[in-house]
Chain A
Amino acid sequence: MTFVRFVAVFIFVCCATAARADAVDDALAKFLDNKFTSTAQGVNDLAATGAANAPAILDALGDNRLLIDPVARIIVYQTSGGDLINAKTGEKLSGVGADSFKKVRVNNGLRSAIEAAVGALTLASPDPQKRASAAEAVFKSRDAGALAVLDAQLSRESNPQVAEAMRQARAAIIVLDPNTPSADRVGAVSTLKARGDQDAQSLIDEVAAKSDDPAVKTAALAAEAAIKAHLVWLNVLQNLIYGVSAASVLLLAAIGLAITFGVMGVINMAHGEMVMLGAYTTFVVQSALPPSFLQWSLAVALPLAFLVSAIVGVAIERLVIRFLYGRPLETLLATWGVSLILQQAVRSLFGANNRQVVAPDFMSGSYDWAGLQITTGRLWIVALAIIVFAALQLALRATSFGLRMRAVTQNRRMAAAMGISTGRIDMFAFALGSGVAGVAGVALSQIDNVSPNLGQGYIIDSFMVVVLGGVGNLWGTLLGAMVLGVANKLLEPVIGAVLGKILLLVFIILFIQKRPRGLFALKGRAVEA
């Protein structure tokens, strides 16, 4: 019994393959005429067979790589490697050159037919990922010709996600078709509503505007409102993500400033240039390392940028700031002068143009997570900001150097009376703050133009963060960066980038009326210095 069944199945399968092979032969034969009409017929027939090598043949046809010998009635296609392959048997031909064949002519009408056919074939591809993206392509193109294939594939699709994509593609096609029964179109609207993204919204907008069927129209209007609400939330979430990403950049740039300002009470106007030096260090590291080490260039650049900026920072402290102790306004002016010199020096060395810094592979690309866009590079910067913040907290809380530094921040004279060498602490604090700025520069080189003016854009923003957060402790800086970064990105889509920035500046000016020393102010006598 089993045997009989086996034989029956075997015969059936053989017949089926044979029948299919015949169909492929018939379809291929149409290409031999080399006339546009019969070629178009051949394309449709070949696609209908669903043969495994059909996509390759159709691709070749579209690229003028399908060749025929009308006399010997042989059809071959040339692979991109230059090999000639018999379309019927799939064997590689040897000993014949491509010039002994004739090309099958194609025109633009044929090309689009080929594209649609390949799309339909990919819908049947064994790879679910390919099926899903093919369905997505159909959703975008709304090609009514794909409807038959879609229906056929949908009935045998086993992967629920791919099936959903196909249902959406199907809905996109039929929802605007006046010949489809109204109930089906209402169903299509609810499928689109479930999809709920920008594309679905624009499609439903169109339905709501065009459709004269009252049932479809009401469904479309309801779906429109639902999607809009969903998109608003999605938008807010997306802007929050952008905001956190901007906040991490701000935090990196400002945290070094918070340290130097906290300890010494002076604004280092050249702080932005420390960031810029970090970015240029990344550039130099990438040009110095062989290309094969590109993936590791940032790992090399991070400590190096810290070192370069820290050394320059110490030089500034020892040569300039030390002599202006107790004169914060003069320090501000002198460090501004230093920043001009550093900018011009970099301009003379590297030129005024932007320098190209390459992102390693693991930092490029982006995720799409439930409709939210997350860029990998930004994610790494957020991670770096968290690491830097945690490391600095640790350094300030758990080391004796940190203890001394906090003591000097709180009350310099008392700290000096307790035997702390405030001059040395100043120097180290400056090295630390500048070094962290250099690390920020490595991160910024990935998202901003590496030019001599890189740092200037950050000094005001950084100081705003410090003003908002106060110099009491680093949590204030974190909070300040978060508030500014997120508020900026939330305001941006509503009132525009420039107006948003102005509004925030006005907010800060009003804020320091209320809390002149920031959110986390130091308490005690040190405040009224």
Chain B
Amino acid sequence: MKTPVLRLDRLGVAFLIITIGAAALAPILALVVPRDSAFAMPPYVVALLGKYMCYGILALALDLVWGYCGILSLGHGAFFALGGYAMGMYLMRQIGTRGVYANPILPDFMVFLNWKELPVAWWGFHSFAYAALMVMLAPGVLAFAFGWFAFRSRVTGVYLSIITQALTYALKLAFFRNDFGFGGNNGLTDFKDIVGFNVQSDETRAALFSLSALALALSYVIGRAIVVSKYGKAVIAIRDAESRVRFIGYRVENYKLFVFVVSAVMAGIAGALYVPQVGIINPSEFDPANSIEAVIWVAVGGRGTLVGAALGAVTVNFAKTYFTGAFPEYWLYALGGLFVLVTLFLPKGLIGLLNLRRRAAKPTPPSTASLAQQEEGAL
């Protein structure tokens, strides 16, 4: 190929530099720089930023399906949580005899529930490789099964959105049950080790942050590679004029399914990186409100930009951390207001604002996408 695979714009380059730079710099600031120095990163900041990175990956995954394929998933939190649970199960089995009941095989909650054997779903999770595989496989298979049904029968628009919401709602109900076998209401927690390192130690936290930042960069590269490819062009066309693409002869459902599954796997990886950093995974991660909150990150940053999604995730979560600390009463007002204001006045998000300033200098013709949309509406 003549053109570089990614065709990175300036924004993309900046994004990669920042994320990879952060991944390299954070361990130094957190571990090497003395604690009393102004540049030192306290452990809680490392954990917090690590969380933001995971949210960033989730937002990026969501942007891939919503921003580029027009599928508004209100259930991406389910894929995130499934990845998290897969990692949580690995971490649970690493506890071993250090649990309260000191059972070498069964996690504490199973002993407590008087179970005698490990359920089949938990087999193999003592191995990190298997767990890592499941982190991708569990959300991937679910997304494939769901998407295969939904896209083939041409469920679109708000119907699809609500069905995805119902999906995560159903999973939440299921995971709340004790006999479902994943810790019920309390979820999985009290983790000790990850691949032999203490999850609580500063070194591990710094390493997890760096990994999350690198994963974010990698997600961007993968996402970018998809959307600038020929394949990606078809996906964008589906977003703008689905029927027309179908009439031309493309198998729309296959394109949608591919993007949906890739996005779900990304969300799963985000969840897997998230769990060791926050130290707990429980069914409330499946809450529909969480998934829809992730959508607003994408909207705030600017959908259909990938970089914007990650930017939005970090911005909104920073605001959330600040607000829930300073004025807990007003956070829901702020979040609700954000939903309304962004959809009404900022359809292109923060990135749109940046582009607006640049465009003010040199005017550009209207995008083909919006033209196609108008024609579609007129059909």
- Say yes or no: is A27 at the interface (Cβ < 8 Å to chain B): no
- Could you say which of B167, B296, B335, B344 contacts A323, with CB atoms under 8 Å apart? B344
**Which of B18-26, B101-109, B157-165, B221-229 is the contact stretch?**
B157-165
- Complex CA distance for A435 and B245, rounded to whole angstroms: 41
- Could you say which of B159, B162, B299, B344 contacts A460, with CB atoms under 8 Å apart? B162
Q: How far, in Å, is B350 (CB) from chain A's closest CB?
A: 16
Which residues of A284-315 are within 8 A (CB) of B?
Answer: none
- Say yes or no: is B152 at the interface (Cβ < 8 Å to chain A): yes
**Closest B residue to A496 using CB positions:** B177
Q: Check if B153 sits within 8 Å of A513, measured CB to CB.
A: yes
**Closest B residue to A341 using CB positions:** B336
Which residues of A497-519 are within 8 A (CB) of B?
Answer: 498-499, 501-502, 505-506, 508-510, 512-514, 516
**Which of B48-56, B168-176, B314-322 is the contact stretch?**
B168-176
**Closest B residue to A452 using CB positions:** B332
With A267-B162, A460-B162 in contact, is A498–B174 under 8 Å at CB? yes
Q: Check if B299 sits within 8 Å of A266, measured CB to CB.
A: no
User: Which residues from chain A contact B288 at a C-beta distance below 8 Å?
Assistant: 460
- Could you say which of A265, A336, A467, A516 contacts B153, with CB atoms under 8 Å apart? A516
With A467-B162, A509-B167 in contact, is A341–B344 under 8 Å at CB? no
- Could you say which of A339, A460, A463, A509 contacts B149, with CB atoms under 8 Å apart? A509
- Complex CA distance for A339 and B333, rounded to whole angstroms: 10
- Could you say which of B161, B177, B329, B340 contacts A320, with CB atoms under 8 Å apart? B340
**Which of A67-75, A92-100, A324-332, A383-391 is the contact stretch?**
A324-332
Q: Check if A320 sits within 8 Å of B344, measured CB to CB.
A: yes
- Could you say which of A326, A516, A528 contacts B377, with CB atoms under 8 Å apart? A326
Q: Check if B347 sits within 8 Å of A330, measured CB to CB.
A: yes
- Max chain B CB contacts within 10 Å: which of A339, A506, A509? A509
- Say yes or no: is A464 at the interface (Cβ < 8 Å to chain B): yes
Q: How far, in Å, is B5 (CB) from chain A's closest CB?
A: 31
User: Which residues from chain B contact A371 at a C-beta distance below 8 Å?
Assistant: none
- Say yes or no: is B254 at the interface (Cβ < 8 Å to chain A): no
Q: Check if B173 sits within 8 Å of A512, measured CB to CB.
A: no
- Complex CA distance for A498 and B175, rounded to whole angstroms: 10
Q: Check if B173 sits within 8 Å of A501, measured CB to CB.
A: yes
- Could you say which of B163, B165, B296, B340 contacts A338, with CB atoms under 8 Å apart? B340
User: Which residues from chain A contact B146 at a C-beta distance below 8 Å?
Assistant: 509
Task: State the majority secondary structure of interface residues on A.
Answer: helix
- Say yes or no: is A226 at the interface (Cβ < 8 Å to chain B): no
- Complex CA distance for A344 and B324, rounded to whole angstroms: 14
Q: Check if B170 sits within 8 Å of A506, measured CB to CB.
A: yes
- Say yes or no: is A343 at the interface (Cβ < 8 Å to chain B): yes
- Complex CA distance for A405 and B347, rounded to whole angstroms: 30
Q: Check if B169 sits within 8 Å of A336, measured CB to CB.
A: no
User: Which residues from chain A contact B198 at a C-beta distance below 8 Å?
Assistant: none
Q: Check if A510 sits within 8 Å of B347, measured CB to CB.
A: no
**Closest A residue to B345 using CB positions:** A323
- Complex CA distance for A179 and B299, rounded to whole angstroms: 83
- Complex CA distance for A504 and B121, rounded to whole angstroms: 24
- Complex CA distance for A528 and B343, rounded to whole angstroms: 25
Chain B, residues 328-372, CB within 8 Å of chain A (1/0): the string is: 010011011111100110010000000000000000000000000
- Say yes or no: is A2 at the interface (Cβ < 8 Å to chain B): no
Task: State the majority secondary structure of interface residues on B.
Answer: helix
Q: How far, in Å, is A502 (CB) from chain B's closest CB?
A: 5
Q: How far, in Å, is B127 (CB) from chain A's closest CB?
A: 30
- Say yes or no: is A334 at the interface (Cβ < 8 Å to chain B): yes
- Say yes or no: is B295 at the interface (Cβ < 8 Å to chain A): yes
With A460-B166, A498-B176, A502-B170 in contact, is A528–B243 under 8 Å at CB? yes
Q: How far, in Å, is A515 (CB) from chain B's closest CB?
A: 9
- Say yes or no: is B11 at the interface (Cβ < 8 Å to chain A): no
User: Which residues from chain B contact A343 at a C-beta distance below 8 Å?
Assistant: 332
With A340-B336, A343-B332, A464-B166 in contact, is A333–B292 under 8 Å at CB? yes
- Say yes or no: is B72 at the interface (Cβ < 8 Å to chain A): yes
Q: Check if A337 sits within 8 Å of B165, measured CB to CB.
A: no
- Complex CA distance for A470 and B348, rounded to whole angstroms: 33
- Complex CA distance for A421 and B339, rounded to whole angstroms: 29
Q: Check if B166 sits within 8 Å of A505, measured CB to CB.
A: yes
Chain B, residues 53-90, CB within 8 Å of chain A (1/0): the string is: 00000000000000000001000000000000000000
With A328-B158, A467-B159, A498-B177 in contact, is A337–B340 under 8 Å at CB? yes
Closest 4 CB pairs of A and B: A337-B339, A340-B336, A341-B336, A344-B332
Pairs across A and B, CB under 8 Å, 23 listed: A267-B161, A324-B344, A327-B343, A328-B157, A328-B158, A330-B347, A332-B161, A333-B339, A333-B343, A336-B339, A337-B336, A338-B336, A338-B340, A344-B336, A348-B329, A460-B169, A463-B166, A498-B173, A498-B176, A501-B173, A502-B170, A506-B170, A508-B166
Binding site for A on B (CB under 8 A): 72, 146, 149-150, 152-155, 157-159, 161-163, 165-167, 169-170, 173-174, 176-177, 243, 288, 292, 295-296, 299, 329, 332-333, 335-340, 343-344, 347, 377
Binding site for B on A (CB under 8 A): 265-267, 320, 323-324, 326-334, 336-341, 343-345, 347-348, 460, 463-464, 467, 498-499, 501-502, 505-506, 508-510, 512-514, 516, 528
For the complex with contacts A333-B299, A341-B336, A516-B154, 10 further pairs of A-B residues with Cβ separation under 8 Å are A265-B158, A324-B344, A329-B157, A329-B158, A334-B340, A337-B343, A338-B340, A340-B339, A463-B166, A501-B173
